[in-house]
Amino acid sequence: MRFTLITGCDRSGTKYTATLLQKLGIECHHEEAFRPPVVGVPTWTGVEVSWLAAPYTVDAVMFHQLRDPIAVICSFMRAGNFVKDDVYRQHIYRFLPHLEGLPAVEQAMTYWIEWNGFISGLQYHIEDVGASEWIEWLGLEVDPGNLELLKNINTTGPRLENEHTWDTLPQGKLLERLRKAARRYGYL
């Protein structure tokens, strides 16, 4: 199998995708080739699933994993991603330095727009893709009976209510940019 990279935003379900592919028997890594601090394009074989890879130009089969922007923003806010100072946030600021100093929700909104803008490749919505799509896309031969084993592989626990909606996000030009990007990616 040619090198394959699956990337998207942080909080877009990359851990879920890596777990799913591993259960399908694919040697798949989550944030191993691209792990902080990323200092360039590493070499790897097989399949890598990592949001950290998005800003890099990589010679690989590319998949662009998208997740609903409201879900990503809410997940960021719950996890405190733009509050805690760690290597992950520093990785984001390395490529999007203008986010520093913005309110957390505005950072999350801008991040979803601009991080997704780094990525080319086959686009898909994580909400609409499961094992059968990956089997087809990667040309796998899997016993259909094994697909039953893949139904419940949630990697984060129970879903919480979204604390933000399109109506509760800060109004203005940034919200319009977010709506435009969401339409471009098929979410509105």
pTM for this prediction: 0.88
CB 34: neighbour CB atoms within 10 A? Answer: 25
Residue with tokens 């592919």: 21
Q: For position 143, what pLDDT does the model report?
A: 65
Q: Tokens 């990956």 correspond to what residue?
A: 134
pLDDT tens-place string over residues 86-105:
888 999 999 999 999 999 99
How many Cβ atoms from other residues are within 10 Å of residue 135's Cβ? 15
Q: Which residues contact 33 (CB under 8 A, 6 or more apart)?
A: 42, 43, 44, 48, 50, 53
Q: Which residue range(s) make up the domain with 90?
A: 4-184
d(CA 167, CA 171) in angstroms, rounded, equals 8
Q: Per residue, what are the HEC states of 65-134?
A: EECCHHHHHHHHHHHCCCCCCCHHHHHHHHHCHHHCCCCHHHHHHHHHHHHHHCCCCEEEEHHHCCHHHH
Task: Please report which confidence band the pLDDT of residue 122 belongs to, taking 50, 70 and 90 as the band edges.
Answer: very high
Whether 10 shows a pLDDT value over 90: the answer reads yes
What percentage of the chain reaches a pLDDT higher than 90?
51
Q: Report the number of distinct structural domains present in the chain.
A: 1
